[in-house]
Every structure is written in C-alpha cells, then in structure tokens.
C-alpha cells in the first residue's frame, strides 16, 4: 500500500459529518504520491522543483502512473504545479482503484458520498494497516491529513517531519488547499452578487 491509499481510506472512514472535499483530497493525494516517490529514491527536491532520478517502476499501479508523468526535462516542474496537474480528479481515480481491489464497497446510504456514489472501506488488512498508521500518529500521514482538515491529536513526544524534502511537499499541499478554498470563497461571493443583481432592490 501507499501513503496516498492510506490517506484516502482514512478520509472516507470518518463519516459524512467530517467529509473531506474531493478537490482538497486530490491535492493531498498528489502530495502523498510525491512523498512516496521521494522515499523510494525516484525523485529528489531541489528548492521548489521536482528532480526525477533513475527510472522508477513502483509496484503500485497509481504510483507507477505518477512516476511516469514526471517532467524529466529541465527546468523541472515546480511542486505546486505538480499538485494541480497530477491532482486533477485524483480522488476519483483512487476510489475506482480501491473499489477494483475490493477495498471499498458501494452502499445506497454510505458514510461518505463521492459524487453520486456512496462508498465505505471494507474491513481488510489494507484498512487495518491504514488505521494502524493513523493511530500511531505516523508523521507524514498525519501532516497530509491535517492539510485537508482531518483533526490530528498530537502529544509533545510525537515526532514531526525530519526530512526537508517531505516538509517542503507538505507545506506545498497546505498552500494549494488554502488556494483552492480562496477560489471557492471568491466564486461564492461572485455568485451571490450575481443573484442579488438579478433579484433587484
């Protein structure tokens, strides 16, 4: 399993009262993929740029797809640009992959609706592994979850991120999620103003 799949499972396992937006989650999933590629030695981070290493062939299909989509020519892609490009509809891709693997099931009235579909995790070793990482407060998973508004309980003794590249990616995810929220707020204001214009005095 990958950090992105663990994050997806944690996000949908929380119930509809704590729903995570698809756009926010997609950005975080792209960040999780990048972190796993860093951990595998497939890429390095130079400032705010992603520098691919040698050819990478991850076992996971979606992570392999992410590796294949890296920009290998200089100047290399900025992290924030990668998040927006790779993150487009990425939550839907993870939902489809996890359903195909039997890790999710559809329900008429599930815990969380992604689009028109209600899904919930199946009790599998994969789900239990994600839950174990979450309960242990694994720093990378906790940091990405926090970026999309999933509350993380921390103690003074819990370790933080000690890798500069991963810290840079997590910070970029936070910034991208905040930017997306600003866009949402701007559209809400514009739509309200438009509605008021047609409603008249």
Q: Which residue has the higher pLDDT, 192 or 18?
A: 192
Statement: residue 198 has pLDDT above 70: no
Question: ∠ CA 156-157-158 to the nearest 5 degrees?
Answer: 95
Q: Is the pLDDT of residue 73 over 90?
A: no
Q: What is the DSSP string of the chain?
A: --HHHHHHHHHHTT-GGG---HHHHHHHHHHHHHHHHHHTTSEEEETTEEEE-S----SSHHHHHHHHT---SSSPPBHHHHHHHHHTTHHHHHHHHHHHTTSEEE-TT-SEEETTEEEEE-SSHHHHHHHHHHHTT-HHHHHHHHHTT------TTS-----HHHHHHHHHHHHHHHHHHHHHHHHHHHHHHHHHHHH--
* In the predicted structure, residue 172 carries a pLDDT above the cut 50: yes
175 or 114: whose pLDDT is higher?
A: 175
Of these ranges, 20-24, 131-135, 162-166, 184-188, the one predicted with the greatest mean pLDDT is: 131-135
For residues 31-42, give the mean pLDDT. 93
> What confidence score (pLDDT) does residue 157 get?
38
pLDDT at 159: 45
* Length of the chain in terms of residues written: 201
pLDDT confidence of residue 47: 92
pLDDT reported for residue 158: 43
State residue 91's pLDDT score: 93
In which band, very low, low, confident or very high, does the pLDDT at 108 lie, cut at 50, 70 and 90? low
| pLDDT value at 3 more than 90 | yes
Compute the average pLDDT of residues 109-115. 50
* pLDDT of 148 over the 80 cut: yes
* Average pLDDT in the chain: 84
Percent of the chain with pLDDT over 70: 82
Quote the pTM value: 0.84
Tell whether the model's pLDDT for residue 99 goes beyond 70.
Answer: yes
């Amino acid at each position: 399993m990958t950090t992105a799949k663990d994050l997806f499972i944690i996000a949908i396992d929380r119930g509809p009262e704590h729903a995570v937006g698809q756009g926010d989650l997609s950005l975080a999933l792209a960040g999780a993929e990048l972190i796993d590629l860093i951990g595998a030695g497939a890429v390095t981070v130079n400032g705010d740029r992603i520098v691919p290493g040698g050819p990478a062939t991850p076992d996971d299909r979606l992570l392999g797809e992410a590796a294949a989509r890296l920009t290998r020519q200089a100047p290399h892609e900025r992290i924030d640009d990668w998040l927006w490009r790779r993150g487009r509809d990425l939550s839907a891709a993870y939902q489809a992959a996890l359903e195909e693997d039997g890790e999710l099931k559809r329900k008429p009235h599930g815990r969380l609706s992604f689009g028109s579909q209600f899904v919930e995790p199946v009790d599998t070793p994969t789900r239990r592994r994600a839950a174990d990482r979450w309960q242990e407060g694994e720093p990378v998973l906790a940091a990405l979850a926090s970026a999309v508004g999933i509350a993380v309980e921390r103690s003074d003794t819990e370790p933080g991120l000690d890798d500069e590249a991963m810290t840079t990616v997590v910070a970029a995810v936070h910034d991208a999620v905040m930017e997306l929220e600003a866009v949402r707020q701007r559209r809400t204001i514009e739509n309200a103003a438009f509605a008021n214009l047609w409603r008249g005095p």
